[in-house]
Every structure is written in structure tokens, then in C-alpha cells.
Structure 1
Amino acid sequence: MNDHVSGITPTGSSSGERLKRKAGTLAAGAAGAAMLVIVLVAGMWAIEVIDYVLPVNLDAYGIRSWSPDGLTGIFLAPFLHAGFGHLMANSLPLLVLGFLAALRGLGRFLAASLIIIVVSGLGVWFTSSPAIVTVGASGLVFGYFGFVVARGLFDRRVLDIVIGLGVAAAYYSIIWGVLPGDPGISWQGHLFGLAGGIVAAWVLRRRRQAVPAY
């Protein structure tokens, strides 16, 4: 006589399926994050090519400090650069840190980017010398750095903590960029970009369900 039991799934099989689903989700998220950031940086290169080829000065649409008209530059400045050398210096850290920042999903990445852009842009607008025009994605670079590191602290996911520690160890030297130095470099954009990343990590942190007390 053969014994037959239905409706029971071996624990090992169930755990294996869960791991496969998690791995598949992570792989899909990584692919989407990579594509999104590549498109973002490619768009910046396309804009810089247009600025170089056409008889226009797109950099004039950056953040013009203390000018009401310059407020629109808060949303344009991250996509404008003062030449290909400037863009080249930002591209690699933007690809790496942007990719890590986007791993948790498109919506969260876009929300974090918006927070970083606004905080960084307003900080530059208020603290830079009047009539100075600031352009560049450095605010986003510092913002994504702050976001990825702080996300591990606020969300307390093991993977995010590991990524945050790795980023802190690999890019710790950029922290010096928040201090005044070269007059041609906006330390304000770096400082407030970093602050914006930390704010974004806090605002977008994973909410934990309260455990009722009895």
C-alpha cells in the first residue's frame, strides 16, 4: 500500500522558492536601476553636446543666487555642466552612487532625487554670493552618497547596511568637498546635497508597524 499525503510542502522547498523569488526581485531591481541611471547620465551628456554644438549658453539657466529668476535653475542646474571635463568628473560617481540609490525602486529613487535637488538647490541659492551661477550634478552625487549611507541606518535592512558601509568606506574622501576650498567649486552644492540625501533617507525610510501593548 502506498502512502500519499497532499497539501504539505517540505520546508526546504518553500525556503528555496522564497530565496529564488528574492533573488529574482533583486536582479530585476538591479537591472532597472542600472538602466535608469545610464539614461540619466546619457541625458546629461546629450545636453552638454547640445550646449557645445549650438550657439547657445545653456549654463546661464543654472542657479543664479539671490535672483528670483534663478530659482528655476534649481531644477535645471543638475543637468548642466561647465564643460566636458566637469561632466566627466561627475559621471562615474553618479553612475555608481545613483545605481545604489535606485536599487529600492523607481518611485523611491525619483522622490529621493527630487528632495536632494530641492534641498541642494535652495542651499546654493541662499548661501552663494549674489549673481553667481552654479551648475553641475555634484549636489546629486553628494546627495546619493548621503542617501545610501543613511538609508542603511534608518531602514536597518542588512543589505542596505552593508551597501552603506561599503559606500562610506569607498567614498569617505568626498566628505572634504563640503568644506570651502577652490572658489570655482560650489562647496555649498556639496554640503546641501549631502544634507538633502540624509533628509531623503529619513523621509523615505521604511515604516515599521507598531506592536500593540497588552
Structure 2
Amino acid sequence: MKNKEHFQFSTGVIAYPVFFVLAIWLIFWFEVRFGYNFSKYGVYPQTLKGLRGVLLSPFIHGDIKHIYHNTVPLFVLSTALFYFYRHIAWKVLFWGILLSGFITWCIGRPSYHIGASGLIYVLVSFTFFKGVFAKHYRLIALSLLVIFLYGSMIWYTLPIEQGISWEGHMAGLITGLLFAFIFRKEIAKPKKYIWEQEHYKEEDDPFLQHFDENGNFIESVEPEIEVEEEEPLQFKYHFKKASDKNID
């Protein structure tokens, strides 16, 4: 089995999410430092000019609170994406931005929709449903962890609070579910432990050989080597008579 088919940690797992988050903060710093307002480059639904926001809106935020609340989940979820699904990570990110932005453009209210929260909902939805479709315990565990951390975000896909683009959140949720279904067959294949392999026998397990039947640790499991006892050496002394000696 090739290494690329396994869960593996690489520099890209951290580097790409860090780069993405830094780009967002750099754009926000530029706005504050030089007095610009990039909100007009967000998604403005059902207008030709508003289509540019489909690509640009994830990099634009209204204030420090807005960007702060998006930074941590964006970093955590994109890191998990590149670790568990790195062979499709860029597809999910790029097409996730475009598709969720386009759906927002189709269903949104006549206002500027900005922020990376739509992409965050893509990642939450994709990670959860992909783990369910995979039926693999590690990916299911990841899905449960995502629900534990960000499950309450589901309420913000409904129009319960003014000033929040619930349309963008809903678009991200739909996009993530769609991608999880499209990429359902592209599941990472982790290395199997020895006890997960076929024809596994406990007596052949090198780890279990360090324990006896009662579970007590055995300091050494080196096989005993039978050594044949050698016969004791016998020394025979021969004494010559004095007359037999050569005396100079």
C-alpha cells in the first residue's frame, strides 16, 4: 500500500492553514492601517457586480470581533482537512468557496455578505458527513469531535439574529454535505495495527510475548538455549623414574 493512502502528518498540514489565516489577518490589518473598507467587495446577491464577492468575501471581515471568531475554527478545521483528506483538501477549499459563495449570491438578502464563516460551515458539514459516510472509527471520532466543538453553529443557519448572514451559513452547510457525498469513495486508508490484520494470532504478537498468562510483565522473553554439559576435564600425570631423567 502506498504511503499517500495513509493518514500522515506533513508540513502542509500546518503550513497551508497558517498561511490562509495570516492572509486574512494581513488584509484586515491593511484595511485598519490605511483606512480602507473592503466590504463592498463582498457577495451582493443577484447583482453582476456582487459576483466578485464569491471569491473575495472569505478574506474580508467587518471588525476585530468578526475576524477573531472565525480564526480559530478556520484553523482547526482546515488543519483536520489537510491531515485526514489532504488528497482532496484543495478541491474542498477552492470549490467550497466558490459554490457556497454562489449559493449565497442566489438566496441572500440584498446586502453585502462577508467573512470566512461560510467556508467554516463548509468544513464543519463536510468533516461531519464525510466521517459518517466513511464508516471508519477514526473519521467517525473526528465527526463527533466536530459536533462537540461546533455543533451549536447549526442554529446560525436560521434567521435568528440580525447582522448575521444565515444565508452564507446555510450555503456552506449544503455545500459541505454535497462534497461529502461526491467524495464519499475517496476515503483515506490508515495503516492497520497487527491485531487488525487477517490471520492474526496472539502467540505471534511480539508485544504480547512480554506478558505471561496472568498478564504479568516478563522482563525477558529470549528463548532458553539448552547447553550440553561437557564432561569434566581429566588430567593424567605420568611420573618418570629418576634414572630416566637426563641430568647435565
Find the counterpart in structure 1 of residue 9 from structure 2: 28
Equivalent residue for 2:32? Answer: 52
Gaps of 5+ in 2: 188-248
Deviations 1:55-82 (A, max 9, x none): 4322211101111111111010011100
Matching residue's letter, 1:155: A
* Greater displacement, 142-151 / 116-125: 116-125
1:180 aligns with 2:159: yes
Corresponding residue number in structure 2 for 1:88: 68
RMSD of the alignment, in Å? 2.0
Q: Secondary structure at the match of 1:134?
A: coil
Taking the TM superposition and a 5 Å limit, the aligned residue runs for 1:65-214 are: 65-130=45-110, 132-207=111-186
Q: How far apart are the structure 2 equivalents of 1:112 and 1:72?
A: 20
Verify the 8 A CA contact 1:119 1:195 in the aligned structure 2. Answer: no
| 8 A contact 1:115–1:200 mirrored in 2 | no
Q: What is the CA–CA distance in structure 2 between the aligned matches of 1:96 and 1:187, rounded to whole Å?
A: 22
Instruction: Report if the CA contact (8 A) 1:112-1:201 is conserved.
Output: no
Name the CA distance, whole Å, in 2 between partners of 1:51 and 1:121: 22
1:33·1:105 contact (CA, 8 Å) conserved in 2? no
For 1:199 and 1:115, locate their aligned partners in 2 and report how far apart those are by CA, in whole Å: 11
Alpha-carbon distance between aligned partners in 1 of 2:87 and 2:115, rounded to the nearest angstrom: 23
Size of the alignment, in residue pairs?
185
Tell whether the 8 Å contact from 1:143 to 1:195 is kept in structure 2 after alignment: yes
| TM-score (norm. length: structure 2) | 0.69
Alignment gaps of 5+ in structure 1: 1-17, 209-214
How far the C-alpha of 1:122 sits from its partner, in A, is: 1.7
Cα distance in 2 between the residues matched to 1:60 and 1:207: 38
**Secondary structure of 1:63's aligned partner:** coil
- Partner amino acid, structure 2, of 1:62: G
The alpha-carbon deviation at position 142 of structure 1 amounts to 1.0
Q: Which has the higher contact order (CA 8 A, sep 6+)?
A: 1
Q: Is the 8 Å Cα contact of residues 143 and 196 (structure 1) preserved in structure 2?
A: yes
Runs of 4+ in 1 over 4 A off after TM superposition: none
Q: Secondary structure at the match of 1:180?
A: coil
Higher helix share: 1
Between the aligned partners of 2:119 and 2:177, the Cα distance in structure 1 is 12
Of 10, 14, 22, 1:42 maps to 22
Letter paired with 1:127: I
Supply the distance in 1 between the matched residues of 2:163 and 2:22 (Cα, whole angstroms).
Answer: 25
Q: TM-score, normalising length from structure 1?
A: 0.79
Q: Distance in 2 between matches of 1:205 and 1:115?
A: 16
